[in-house]
Amino acid sequence: MINQIKQFKKNALALELLETFTEADALLIEQLFEEKLKEGYKHVNILIKVKDMSVLKDMSVLKDMDLKGFIQGELWGIKHFGKIGRCAMVSHSSLMDSVVKIENKVLHFFNSALEEKYFDHTQLDEALKFITPDE
């Protein structure tokens, strides 16, 4: 389930992943992202807060996800990858911190506007400021 943490007037989205990720969640993310692009923004900044990293710890990512929703979300993400600006990943996982550091270096070659940064779950306010530098 996706929860919108906060709504912004400009080009930012703040979302929290709670437990399962469904096809409806993938559609909601698409809709919110497309609304920002239709407002004329070239890039959308996004914050993704993951409450529970146990899914990754078990290495069974699909355990708590609807397969159709997961695939739809991945395909949409690949198609719109170039439209992502700043990306804040918020969780309480040293594994996620490492993944974000590697992704930020590698993915920047494919999208020069992408700036991905990890934030501990206690740094939510800082992460929100990161995706909204002009507010």
Q: What are the structural domain ranges in the chain?
A: 2-131
pLDDT tens, residue order, the chain (135 aa): 888 999 999 999 999 988 777 778 878 888 999 999 999 999 999 999 986 554 444 334 444 455 666 666 666 666 777 888 898 999 887 777 787 888 777 776 777 778 889 999 999 999 999 999 876
Q: The whole model's pTM is what?
A: 0.79
pLDDT value at residue 10: 93
Q: What HEC string does 35-80 produce?
A: HHHHCCCCCEEEEEEECCCHHHHCCCHHHHECHHHHHHHHHHHHHC
For the chain, what is the radius of gyration of the CA atoms? Answer: 14
